[in-house]
Chains A and B, each alone.
Chain A
Amino acid sequence: MERKITIEPVTRVEGHGKVTIHINNEGNVSQSRLHIVEFRGFERFVQGRPYWEAPVLVQRLCGICPVSHHLAAAKALDVIVGAGTGDGLTPTGEKMRRLMHYGQIFQSHALHFFHLVSPDLLFGVDGDPAIRNIIGVAKKHPDLAVQGVMMRKFGQEIIKATAGKKIHGTGAIPGGINKHLTQEEKDSFINGADPLNIEKMISWGQDAVNFLKSYHKENKEFIDGFAAFPSSHLSLVRKDGAMDLYHGVLRAVDAEGKKILHDVDYQDYLEYINEEVKDWSYMKFPFLIEYGKKDGWYRVGPLARMNTCEFIPSPLAQKEFEEFKAYTNGKPNNMSMHMHWARLIELLHSAEMMKELLNDPDLMSGELVTKGEKKNEGVGLLEAPRGTLFHHYRINEHDQIEMANLIVSTTNNNEPMNLAVNYAAKQFMNGQEKITEGMMNAVEVAIRAYDPCLSCATHAIGQMPLEVVLVDAKNQIIDRKRK
């Protein structure tokens, strides 16, 4: 009998998602889709607001990655106030923002790996769901769970020191930053009581990479083969080809490593990227115009960044990068589960960059803001934890925002996430008479590798259960399960 399986909401990702899997009469997966129930009205909401409010307003989008939106909006407004296109800020302005950004990447990657992904690795994709969660990790591997907690806390404290406060931070303003780092703040991060100091964070970052590599050695088939598929990859890179998570030019490579977007200025992104609308999803599907809707899709995020950049400008992460690249003989890595390996190398890189910045005297003195000739339009991009984030604003003669366009990281990964779901569903469900919880989780594991943020921002007390609904060809519900 033909069946449709619905997984809603997807657990351990940010926000709400629903997966439908159609199984044909032969018992094989015929189609699967990830539907995103995402609010798409934000661009209209900021219209009419004074442009300088945008870096604070956009934090209403999401309680998970407000810093990324805060900084991307500020970068777009730098252009509008004449502070250049990402490289015109004062040293203090740029370095304080970078410190904020690396704090965000560090805490986000730590949270994702230790608390969302590690249960799948430690207990198995089809492990007992009663213990396959962070409470299970805390009981069996308390050292790992504590590391995750403290790394997240360290990153949050960096954000607080640079953005000014935890909620609706105001640190980044058009043309720069509104505060210096104080001596007390600097000392607390460099010489803080164990474990809350930067040396420990670097050490734990290295441990995390080693943990993943060790797991990989023992589980090659799963890590290399699970939901692996060829794709193009897109990210910012520094002009010399280095990884740069805060600023750079846009580069894309195909599955074989050939450059297909040649280090272009992101102010012109509309010349290269468009978004397709599909009637079954609220989320658009971005693609490279030159290659069309069918072939122009790409991946963003940690794996893409490893594939586009030529080196990482910090020594420990560079060493890990070389090992990562050697695994695929220098070719792009298209293995979805290697996203976790890449993410942890970035976590280590972020810790190293924070150390470098914390020791930089520019953070404690110097001009905070620069301005120049005003413009009426600006684009701000950065590499958010989950991938390339686009903010684009145009203002009118009254300094009000009249147009806003946002392409968030998860939207950039829309097509690859759908493909990953399809690969995982086929891999685990084809020919199976009974669909188990472990098979369902395998699909979620594929999605989780992309660390999607489907934020709904408003929360309320209540549960967020996983609901599985089986529907036959006539759309009649034949089974329903919740966990």
Chain B
Amino acid sequence: MLKYKILIYGYGNPGRQDDGLGNAFVEKLEKWVNSEKLDKIEFDSNYQLNIEDAEAIADKDLVVFVDASTEDIKDFILTPVNADTNVTFTTHAASPGYIVGLCKDLYNKIPATYLLHIKGYEWAFKEGLSDKAIANLELSITHIKTKLTDPGQLINQFQDY
């Protein structure tokens, strides 16, 4: 049994091809977690982050946001998320840092928070990930499964960060 409360939160619009990478990640990883009977890991998924997510992360020890990325990265990257104190807020694109910042100011909590960026390629008005995005998804899931075998390490690394 895990001793940490963990939230894995994927976001994006699965009706826009690879923008649904975060949602697909959650769907696949949740199946694995259930099969491994790893309790204390919660999953959530939405079109985008929004203000109520500050409340959702407030009681967690570890949070991993998962989003599609258009950045120039190879396949995926896991980065720590700091509270964003310089916010230009639009509700169509609330950033993970904004959510952490809101959590800090509203609930006086800063959970160890990471953002998993998974590289996407296609963004048209249809469902289904591109082949290259699926490959990146698989790689990122393998990586996170390894990390979840010792979540304390991620939490400690965040505190050092």
Do A and B come together as binding partners? yes
A64 interface residue (CB < 8 Å to B): yes
Interface string of A459-471 (1 = CB under 8 A from B): 1111111100000
A66 to B14 CA separation, bound complex (whole angstroms) = 13
B159 interface residue (CB < 8 Å to A): no
Verify B52–A42 contact, CB threshold 8 A. Answer: no
Verify A45–B50 contact, CB threshold 8 A. Answer: no
* In the complex, residue of chain B having the shortest beta-carbon distance to the beta carbon of A145: B106
* In the complex, residue of chain B having the shortest beta-carbon distance to the beta carbon of A166: B46
Q: Chain A contacts of B12 at CB under 8 A?
A: 459
Interface string of B18-46 (1 = CB under 8 A from A): 01000100000000000000000000011
Partner-contacting stretch, out of B64-72, B131-139, B140-148, B149-157: B64-72
Known A134-B102, A139-B105; judge A152-B90 contact (CB<8 A): no
Verify B106–A456 contact, CB threshold 8 A. Answer: no
Verify B92–A458 contact, CB threshold 8 A. Answer: no
Q: Chain A contacts of B101 at CB under 8 A?
A: 135
Verify B14–A168 contact, CB threshold 8 A. Answer: yes
A209 interface residue (CB < 8 Å to B): no
Interface string of A300-335 (1 = CB under 8 A from B): 000000000000000000000000000000000000
B2 interface residue (CB < 8 Å to A): no
Verify A460–B69 contact, CB threshold 8 A. Answer: yes
* In the complex, residue of chain B having the shortest beta-carbon distance to the beta carbon of A59: B15
B107 CB to closest chain A CB (Å) equals 8
Known A42-B125, A45-B125, A461-B69; judge A115-B89 contact (CB<8 A): yes
* In the complex, residue of chain B having the shortest beta-carbon distance to the beta carbon of A116: B91
* In the complex, residue of chain A having the shortest beta-carbon distance to the beta carbon of B102: A138
Verify B47–A11 contact, CB threshold 8 A. Answer: no
Verify B23–A167 contact, CB threshold 8 A. Answer: yes
Q: Chain A contacts of B68 at CB under 8 A?
A: 460
Verify A115–B55 contact, CB threshold 8 A. Answer: no
A264 interface residue (CB < 8 Å to B): no
A121 interface residue (CB < 8 Å to B): no
A422 interface residue (CB < 8 Å to B): no
* In the complex, residue of chain B having the shortest beta-carbon distance to the beta carbon of A63: B47
Q: Which of B106, B117, B123 has the most CB of A within 10 A?
A: B106
Q: Chain A contacts of B8 at CB under 8 A?
A: none
Interface string of B60-103 (1 = CB under 8 A from A): 00000001111100000000000001111111110100100110
A240 to B52 CA separation, bound complex (whole angstroms) = 38
Verify B51–A115 contact, CB threshold 8 A. Answer: yes
Within 8 A of B (CB), among A102-142: 111, 115-116, 130, 133-135, 138-139, 142
Interface string of A136-164 (1 = CB under 8 A from B): 00110010011011101100100000000
Verify B88–A464 contact, CB threshold 8 A. Answer: yes
Interface string of A53-79 (1 = CB under 8 A from B): 000010110011010000000000000
A474 CB to closest chain B CB (Å) equals 31
Verify A152–B52 contact, CB threshold 8 A. Answer: yes
A12 interface residue (CB < 8 Å to B): yes
Verify B13–A60 contact, CB threshold 8 A. Answer: yes
Q: Chain A contacts of B52 at CB under 8 A?
A: 149-150, 152-153, 156
B109 interface residue (CB < 8 Å to A): no
A372 to B102 CA separation, bound complex (whole angstroms) = 50
Q: Chain B contacts of A465 at CB under 8 A?
A: 88
A457 to B125 CA separation, bound complex (whole angstroms) = 10
A138 to B73 CA separation, bound complex (whole angstroms) = 35
Verify B88–A133 contact, CB threshold 8 A. Answer: yes
A13 interface residue (CB < 8 Å to B): yes
Q: Chain A contacts of B87 at CB under 8 A?
A: 133-135
A235 interface residue (CB < 8 Å to B): no
Verify A149–B51 contact, CB threshold 8 A. Answer: yes
Contact of A15 among B14, B51, B55, B92 (CB under 8 A): B92
Known A11-B88, A15-B92; judge A459-B48 contact (CB<8 A): yes
Q: Which of B51, B95, B123 has the most CB of A within 10 A?
A: B51
A151 CB to closest chain B CB (Å) equals 9
Known A135-B101, A459-B12; judge A466-B106 contact (CB<8 A): no
Verify B106–A168 contact, CB threshold 8 A. Answer: no
B115 interface residue (CB < 8 Å to A): yes
Q: Chain A contacts of B54 at CB under 8 A?
A: 149
A14 interface residue (CB < 8 Å to B): yes
Q: Chain A contacts of B69 at CB under 8 A?
A: 460-461
Contact of A57 among B15, B55, B88 (CB under 8 A): B15
A177 to B29 CA separation, bound complex (whole angstroms) = 31
Verify B92–A134 contact, CB threshold 8 A. Answer: no
Verify A60–B92 contact, CB threshold 8 A. Answer: no
Contact of A135 among B45, B85, B115 (CB under 8 A): B85
Q: Chain A contacts of B95 at CB under 8 A?
A: 461
B21 CB to closest chain A CB (Å) equals 11
A412 interface residue (CB < 8 Å to B): no
Verify B13–A152 contact, CB threshold 8 A. Answer: no
Q: Chain B contacts of A460 at CB under 8 A?
A: 19, 67-71
B16 interface residue (CB < 8 Å to A): yes
A398 interface residue (CB < 8 Å to B): no
The 20 sampled A-B contact pairs (Cβ below 8 Å) are A12-B91, A13-B90, A14-B92, A60-B16, A60-B125, A115-B51, A116-B89, A133-B88, A134-B51, A139-B105, A149-B102, A153-B52, A166-B45, A167-B47, A459-B48, A459-B93, A461-B71, A462-B70, A462-B71, A466-B88
Residues of A at the B interface (CB closer than 8 Å) are 11-15, 41-42, 45, 57, 59-60, 63-64, 66, 111, 115-116, 130, 133-135, 138-139, 142, 145-146, 148-150, 152-153, 156, 166-168, 455-466, 483
Given contacts A460-B71, A483-B88, 17 further A-B contacts (CB under 8 A): A11-B88, A63-B92, A111-B91, A116-B89, A133-B88, A145-B105, A145-B106, A149-B55, A167-B23, A167-B46, A168-B15, A457-B13, A459-B13, A459-B48, A461-B67, A462-B71, A465-B88
